[in-house]
Amino acid sequence: AFEIALARSAMTLQVPAGRTILQVLQENGVDLPSSCEQGACGTCVCGVLEGDVAHQDVYLSASEHAANDRIMTCVSRAKSARLVLDI
């Protein structure tokens, strides 16, 4: 599990194993658009302000992954204990 802090809404949520960031956001009333839910389309992108992303999408390039400033919330997770998202 890891924690996501939502910078614009001052909300902090836990993402357990087996749930995606996107699911946790939607369950908590945060409406982020999504489409493929397989890390391929880019619809569910969210800005990352702090923390290390464990990228699992096939949408961003290797250099975009290395930039660590965006996450595909339907598949990618955190390497750090906490991510601060720009939402």
The site for ligand FES (CB under 6 A) is made up of 34-37, 39-44, 57, 59, 72, 74
Determine the Cα–Cα distance for residues 21 and 86; give it in Å rounded to an integer: 13
11, 27, 55 from 79: Cα distances, Å: 20, 22, 9
Contact 13/24 with Cβ under 8 angstroms?
yes
Minimum distance between the CB of residue 47 and ligand FES, rounded to whole angstroms?
14
Minimum distance between the CB of residue 23 and ligand FES, rounded to whole angstroms?
11
Closest to ligand FES by CB, 10 vs 39, is 39
Minimum distance between the CB of residue 42 and ligand FES, rounded to whole angstroms?
5
